[in-house]
Amino acid sequence: MRDFLPAEKARRERLLGVIRDVYRRHGFDEIETPVAEDSERLHAGLGGDNEKLAFGILKRGLTRDDLQAAQEPLDLADLGLRFDLTVPLARFYASHRADLPTVFRSIQIAPVWRAERPQKGRYRQFVQCDIDVLGEPGPRAEAELLVASLDALDALGLEGGVIRLNDRRLLTGMLATLGFAPSEYDGALITIDKLDKIAQDGVLAELRERGFTPAAVDALEAFFRRPQTMEFLPFGEAAIRRALPENPDPEALVGLVAIGEAVMAARGGAPGEALLQFDPFLVRGMGYYTGPIFELAHPSVPYSLGGGGRYDGMIGRFLGTDVPATGFSLGFERLVDLVDLPDEAGTDAVALLHDPEVPLAALLALKTALVADGSRVRLVARPKNVKPTLDALAADGFTRFAFVDAATTAASLDLRPLTETARS
């Protein structure tokens, strides 16, 4: 969990402003949910491994007897800090469905907390940027998410993003064709999801070590060795069929092709352009995904910049009635490290360097007049050596300055550009 100095905070807010603006122009509406949720909801089996990283909040008024009677730590917690924004959104929708449109497009941009082992790029508090479409069962929802996310990446100056796609139904169909038992699907996918970390041989070794059906693991090994299987092929029905065993799930196949055609049409992409790529081994770790899944890649970095998928079964856990849902999350902390947006243009920031004898009322009157004209204004006691102070103000984004003494009035205020020449 980190502190941010003013310059870094301002930079982060500029990035968030760009993302918000793109998403709002795509028809999404921003909501806000509490940082804490009921512990039972956070540990309902919807968050995958992230549930293990949730921070719990102790019950109020615990006694020594309560501590001694607890069988496990969760017995002492009735609330927890949210570990993502999807579980809170499902609860939000179940609580407010009557006040929301039939198809609800939401924006959530907020911090989440996980008890990670801190390291570069991994923090215990970090910001997620989520957009979700609730109530739309078809590929239109995914297409809207992907186009909006690619547009957000472009607006941040990271053109050239590529979205990798798969479908959970194609994954389970592949496992069935290879000979894995249904009871083995979840465990096998957890291991296959490690392909980018431990490679093919590591995946095969782990599957054998964990006792999965030997013939199925052998079949997966043969499938791995097929030409082009591990390549991210150009997107389209023919490419998807070539990368999978025979007879893939027809509904999943049709849906992915429809998503791809819609996104390519919206973005003006030519057939075969590397904008969307089918990845037969894209898993996404969350167990709640039920259909299309996707990750956002960029050629400048070896890791993903976001991802998401369809989670049709989650809201029904809270509402009692299933609601189609799909979402996409940008990895904001990773984007911050990559993006360098220019300072906001047109913002007039004024520093008034005043002598100690200037009356407070006069200073505030000058400041108020400038603020009313739309300027950002800071009062600074005038030091003996003004150059370091002016340098620091320039670094903070101030554009003009003036010296103020007891005789200065609004009419006589001499505002000068805060340039190298003026500071010298």
Domain residues for 168? 162-289
The residue ranking higher by pLDDT, 44 or 177, is 177
The residue ranking higher by pLDDT, 286 or 57, is 57
Query: Mean pLDDT throughout 163-186?
Result: 93
Same domain, 314 and 218: no
Residue 10: both structure tokens together: 């301002």
Does a structural domain hold residue 32?
yes
User: Are 166 and 189 in contact, with CB atoms under 8 Å apart?
Assistant: no
Provide the CATH number for the domain around residue 285.
Answer: 3.30.930.10
**d(C-alpha 81, C-alpha 113), whole Å:** 6
User: Are 407 and 362 in contact, with CB atoms under 8 Å apart?
Assistant: no
Q: Are strands 292-297 and 162-167 parallel, antiparallel or unpaired?
A: antiparallel
Percent of the chain with pLDDT over 70: 93
Residue 193: both structure tokens together: 């999801």
Same domain, 314 and 336: yes
Same domain, 167 and 39: no
The residue ranking higher by pLDDT, 61 or 367, is 367
pLDDT digits (tens, 9 = 90+) for 188-213: 998 998 888 899 999 999 999 999 99
Which of 273-287, 305-319, 352-366 holds the top average pLDDT? 352-366
Please report which residue ranges of 225-359 form alpha helices under DSSP H.
237-242, 250-267, 314-319, 332-338
Q: Of 72, 69, 111, which is closest to residue 88 (Cα–Cα)?
A: 111
Confidence of residue 55 (pLDDT cuts 50, 70, 90): confident
Query: What secondary structure does DSSP assign to 28-72, as a single string?
Result: -EE----SEEEHHHHTSS-SGGGGGGPPEEEPTT--HHHHHH-SS
Does a structural domain hold residue 157?
no
Same domain, 144 and 168: no
Same domain, 62 and 11: yes
Does a structural domain hold residue 20?
yes
- Model pLDDT, residue 288: 80
Same domain, 128 and 10: yes
Same domain, 354 and 218: no
Does a structural domain hold residue 354?
yes
Does a structural domain hold residue 68?
yes
User: Are 359 and 406 in contact, with CB atoms under 8 Å apart?
Assistant: yes
* Domains held by the chain: number: 3
Decide which of 289, 312, 328 is a domain's last residue.
289
Same domain, 2 and 142: yes
Same domain, 359 and 311: no
Residue given tokens 């994954």 in the structure block: 171
Same domain, 279 and 174: yes
- Model pLDDT, residue 242: 86
- Model pLDDT, residue 31: 97
Confidence of residue 272 (pLDDT cuts 50, 70, 90): very low
Same domain, 183 and 221: yes
